[in-house]
Chains A and B, each alone.
Chain A
Amino acid sequence: MAITDINKRQPLSYRMRETLRQMRKNWSAYLFLMPGLIHFVIFTLFALGFAFYISFHDWNIIKPDKPFVGLENYLRLFTDPRFHRAVGNTLLFMVGVPLNLISGLAVALLLNTKVRGQAIFRTMFYLPVVTPLVVSSIIWKWVYQGDYGLLNYYLLKFGIIQEKIFWLADPNLALPALILMGIWGGTGATMVIYLAGLQSIPQEMYDAAMVDGASSWQRLIYITVPLLRPTTFFLFVTGVIGAFQIFTEVYIMTNGGPLNRTTTIGYYLYVNAFRELDMGYATAMAFALFAMIFGFTVLQWKFTRGDVEY
């Protein structure tokens, strides 16, 4: 980036020469990237090229022939109300991203103090991450049951609710219920990442702040949170990407219901590709999704750049 900035006003030939010179000088950087790049080209770019090709064709996976249909698959996205609803639901799932960050950070901060039994606490918070998703989905399905669910049992027992709530069967509650389960399943991983990030904050910063008489709250706001920004940025971007692609929980727990209120793009794409056997439409959907997330991420990147580089 810096290189191009400097050379922006130079003639093209000069810029090209300079780029080549920089490339020669930094040859080892490319060598370092080589294993990853080869893997990336074969397993990602090739697959993407294939998918991009398919998105202009009609392909049902079983038949080898794939007639060219031009932009038809993409145009269909504009008139498909189910796709629009899936986009809306997916955006609602985004609510879980900041919630997950907050809960992960809170746990990490609490566990970064000198509490006894840290290891045990950390392990307990990490347990949901190691539980296979198939199993945790079965468990949560039962937790959320209205008549015999664990959650209602305790909510009723402690008088928090007066009438049983049918979490997954209620069109307005199924999506929040899935978000809640996502926080349960994701906090452990977020905590681990924040704990690693917290280790990179130099102790001197806190010591200096202490000398200046900063309260613990001020230290959190003025030192910890700003210095964790690269970590937060990572978690936010991957969280948004994850939310855009949410699939397994929906597949196992609600099948997109009730009344399609939990049909996400990831789920709708799967149904189109592997149930309705319309791979062309599914890939077009994926590229539209890609364009959306990419635009979103670039915006985010642009807005958050400035004083701190990510």
Chain B
Amino acid sequence: MAITQTEKNVSKPVSTPAIRANKWKGFLGKLIVYALLTTGAIIFLAPWAWMVSASFQPIGKIFDWPPNWIPETFTLANYTKFLAAEGFFRWVLNSGFLAVVVLVIQMFFNSMAAYTFAKRKFPGRDGLFLLMLGTLMIPGQLFLIPNYIILLRSPLFGGNNIMGVGGYGMLDSFWGIIIPYSFSVWSVFFMRQYMKGIPDDLLDAARMDGASEFLIYWKVVMPLCGPVLAAQAIFTFTFVWNDFFWPLIVISSPELRTLQLGLALFILKNKTVWDVVFAGSVISTLPVLLVFIFFQKYFIRGIALTGMK
């Protein structure tokens, strides 16, 4: 952003030696920015690019030396093998469905909680927030078995009676993924930090006009949260789409498999088909990238915080 300002300065049509020097400085600054970005981007891209390249090669060639950036033996076989897997479209559909549903539910619940923690004053707020934050620190492995039992014993799900006995609860169903993922303390924390920056004057003004708390949240705060909601959407989608371990534990039926579970069918004990796994990984990253490209434009738009304060 610093550079942006310099550039604005420069755009005045008068040309004095000082301005010319400034122009030269601006050009140099730009050059440095591009050089840094390009170098960084190449470094960040390289391992991923190698995976893409590997996905078009037979396994025997993948680990060749020196590395083959451009496939020596080009083949689409890995892709056709993965795409031809029975259930491929089902996996994609399942993953997409779960990611979208979780994203929408989380955005709603998380933003409500974040708003409350950021902008309301009520007894127990700080204590509750610290408690929630504290639980983030408990290693996730500890939740595996208790939460598995909770899903199994969910009343009235999957053949269970009201006491949670008799059936399989939320196991082996999408509920077992959606319900545990319907709220995220991490996201609440993230959104709260952002919402703290929204001037209170805006909210007070709305309160003066007699707006209800829900209306303030929905009509005043949420519209100002474009960037953070977009970031949140990207993270939640990426997380659910790429999640492997929890679906693995919960899902057993082939027709409920997600894309990552389907991909894992090629990672068998001592028989991993790496070429297919690479092709499958490339395919599985594409939707996440699309979501990223779709939402990222909200980062540069900026929000209408101006005019207040």
Please pick, from A23, A128, A198, A273, the residue contacting B44 in the complex, using a CB distance under 8 A: A128
Q: Which of A75-83, A131-139, A166-174 contacts B (4 or more CB under 8 A)?
A: A131-139
Whether A202 contacts B44 in the complex (CB less than 8 A), given A109-B1, A270-B141, comes out as no
Q: Is the CB of B112 within 8 A of A36?
A: yes
Q: Is the CB of A220 within 8 A of B281?
A: no
B180 interfacial contact with A, CB 8 Å: yes
B269 interfacial contact with A, CB 8 Å: no
Q: How many of chain B's residues touch chain A, expressed as a range?
A: 35 or more
Q: Give A139 to B2 CA distance when docked, in angstroms.
A: 36
B160 interfacial contact with A, CB 8 Å: no
Whether A274 contacts B183 in the complex (CB less than 8 A), given A32-B116, A135-B51, comes out as no
Q: Which of B70-78, B81-89, B291-299 contacts A (4 or more CB under 8 A)?
A: B291-299
Q: Is the CB of B289 within 8 A of A123?
A: yes
B253 interfacial contact with A, CB 8 Å: no
CB distance from B92 to the nearest CB of A (A): 15
| Chain A residues within 8 Å of B188, by CB | 36
Q: Is the CB of B145 within 8 A of A234?
A: no
CB distance from B291 to the nearest CB of A (A): 9
Q: Is the CB of A189 within 8 A of B189?
A: no
Top 10 A-B residue pairs of the complex, sorted by shortest distance between their CB atoms: A216-B2, A47-B146, A26-B122, A39-B183, A196-B227, A293-B137, A36-B113, A130-B288, A124-B41, A199-B227
Mark contacts of B191-219 with chain A using CB atoms, 8 A cut-off: 1 yes-contact digit, 0 otherwise: 00110111000000000000011100100
CB distance from A100 to the nearest CB of B (A): 13
Within 8 A of B (CB), among A124-175: 124-136, 138-140, 142-143, 148, 150, 153
CB distance from A196 to the nearest CB of B (A): 4
| Chain B residues within 8 Å of A51, by CB | 138, 142-143, 146
Closest to A195 in B: B299
| Chain A residues within 8 Å of B121, by CB | 2-3, 22, 26
| Chain A residues within 8 Å of B149, by CB | 50
Closest to B119 in A: A29
Query: A interface vs B, CB < 8 Å?
Result: 1-3, 19, 22-23, 26, 28-30, 32-33, 35-36, 39-40, 42-48, 50-51, 61, 106-107, 109-115, 118-119, 121-136, 138-140, 142-143, 148, 150, 153, 184, 187-189, 192-193, 195-200, 202-204, 206, 210, 216-217, 219-220, 224, 227, 230-231, 233-234, 237-238, 241, 244-245, 247, 265-266, 269-270, 273-274, 279, 282-283, 286-287, 289-290, 293-294, 297-298, 309-310
Mark contacts of B252-264 with chain A using CB atoms, 8 A cut-off: 1 yes-contact digit, 0 otherwise: 0000000010010
Q: Is the CB of B297 within 8 A of A119?
A: yes
CB distance from B276 to the nearest CB of A (A): 12
Q: Give A283 to B230 CA distance when docked, in angstroms.
A: 36
Whether A216 contacts B3 in the complex (CB less than 8 A), given A115-B37, A119-B297, A196-B230, comes out as yes
Mark contacts of B219-236 with chain A using CB atoms, 8 A cut-off: 1 yes-contact digit, 0 otherwise: 000000011101100110
Mark contacts of B30-49 with chain A using CB atoms, 8 A cut-off: 1 yes-contact digit, 0 otherwise: 10011011001101111110
B136 interfacial contact with A, CB 8 Å: yes
Please pick, from B36, B44, B297, B305, the residue contacting A184 in the complex, using a CB distance under 8 A: B44
Whether A35 contacts B109 in the complex (CB less than 8 A), given A40-B132, A46-B146, A131-B281, comes out as yes
Please pick, from A30, A123, A124, A135, the residue contacting B281 in the complex, using a CB distance under 8 A: A135
Q: Which of B12-20, B59-67, B96-104, B161-169 contacts A (4 or more CB under 8 A)?
A: B59-67
